Structure 1
Amino acid sequence: MSGPYSYPSYEASKAALGRFARSVARENAPHGIRANVILPGVIDTPHVRRFIDAETPPEALDRKRAALVPMGRQGTAWDVANAALYLASDEAAFVSGIELRVDGAMSA
């Protein structure tokens, strides 16, 4: 679980969220409260595009970012939203304390 560059504080905070979710899940399970973490990979969002070099053609950058992902494409906000919807649904009623990676197999 790491970011695209070496950002120790970013990576540490992501790791801490997983531990936090497990602790919260364990403590609150008797009350029917679940806690999970979604860990997105390379996701194409307007926020990410703000940091892109303006001189690089968007198509070239999209290909470069997609090449980082074993599934061959960048994720979308819908991919992350669908993971959140699953975790919030009745189908995930017995799912708690997990880190759900939505990263196209980058962390596999």
Structure 2
Amino acid sequence: MSGKLHNKTAMITGGSAGIGLATAKRFAAEGARVVITGRNAATLDKAVQEIGHGALGVQADSASLEDLDQLYHTVSSTFGGIDVLVANAAVYVLGPLADFTEAMFDRQSNVNFKGTFFTVQKALPYLKEGASVILLSSVVNGMGVPNHASYAATKAAIRSLGRSFAVELLGRGIRVNVLTPGPVDTNVFDQAAATKEEASAMKKAMGDFTPLKRLGRPEEIAGAALYLASDESAFMIGAELLLDGGLGSL
């Protein structure tokens, strides 16, 4: 690897699986001191072992402001300031409008929208000058997709936050950008489906719906995250980097 993040501290919420874990591995391989969060202690410990390179795992729920406060206290006391922040933690709750419950709505909004907002707000005292902040959205932020109304709305909100945060933090030299994947082959399908068979069917349908006729790979999204985290994207701010297999454009 080229050491693009040598001696930098990177924190990734929801870093114990999927895109977050792939990004943590790539950042660590590029020389970063990596901190990941997750809600499940066993999954978090396993992820830390996979990442290696002295990675630190902190059990935290991004929807809990108390957890975020404790998280940043731990990170600052261990590594000092933060050079790269990836707000990746999210849940994928699907359902038709007529059947969507308040509990489903609140769970999704609290993690995806509120969690992203306060992950960045609580990080402000610890972000170094020139830091890179990366928010994870989704290609559905600009689409109408059945059963995705709540999820798509939270991801559209994150795209909006990217613009607003970028303007507010410009004076500190902090760059905020949005990374927007299409459907990616992760365990999120298992969370959204009732059975393994249903999850497999969802994956096939999503892949077939994409112009490239396949799902994205977590490692592909991690490569884009590395670009946004590194100095190579120094002239990019408040922007959206779309990796969706052509889904939002073709």
- TM-score of the superposed pair, with normalisation by structure 2: 0.39
Check the 8 A contact 2:211/2:247 in 1, yes or no. Answer: yes
> How has the CA–CA distance of structure 1 residues 101 and 57 changed in structure 2, closer, same or farther, with 3 Å as cutoff?
closer
Partner residue in 1 for 2:224: 83
Higher strand content, 1 or 2: 2
1:54 maps to a residue whose letter is K
Deviations 1:36-94 (A, max 9, x none): 11121110012323444434694x66543321111221101111111111100111011
> For 2:234, which of 88, 93, 99 is the aligned residue?
93
Check the 8 A contact 1:75/1:103 in 2, yes or no. Answer: yes
> For 1:6, which of 147, 158, 169 is the aligned residue?
147
Check the 8 A contact 2:189/2:203 in 1, yes or no. Answer: no
Unaligned stretches of 5+ residues in structure 2: 1-141
Secondary structure in 1 matching 2:176: coil
Q: What are the equivalent positions in structure 2 for 1:15-94 lying under 5 Å apart?
A: 15-52=156-193, 53-55=195-197, 58=200, 62-94=203-235
Check the 8 A contact 2:192/2:199 in 1, yes or no. Answer: no
Secondary structure in 2 matching 1:35: strand
Check the 8 A contact 1:75/1:104 in 2, yes or no. Answer: yes
Deviations 1:4-38 (A, max 9, x none): 53332211111111111111111211211011111
RMSD of Structure 2 on Structure 1 (CA): 2.2
| Identical counterparts, % of pairs | 39
- TM-score of the superposed pair, with normalisation by structure 1: 0.82
Give me the whole-angstrom Cα distance separating, in 1, the residues matched to 2:223 and 2:187: 18
> How has the CA–CA distance of structure 1 residues 73 and 98 changed in structure 2, closer, same or farther, with 3 Å as cutoff?
same
Identify which of structures 1 and 2 has the higher relative contact order when contacts are C-alpha pairs closer than 8 Å and 6+ apart: 1
User: Which structure would you say has the larger Rg?
Assistant: 2
Check the 8 A contact 1:3/1:10 in 2, yes or no. Answer: no
2:211 maps to a residue whose letter is P
Check the 8 A contact 2:183/2:206 in 1, yes or no. Answer: yes
Secondary structure in 1 matching 2:242: strand
Check the 8 A contact 1:22/1:97 in 2, yes or no. Answer: yes
Number of aligned residue pairs: give it: 107
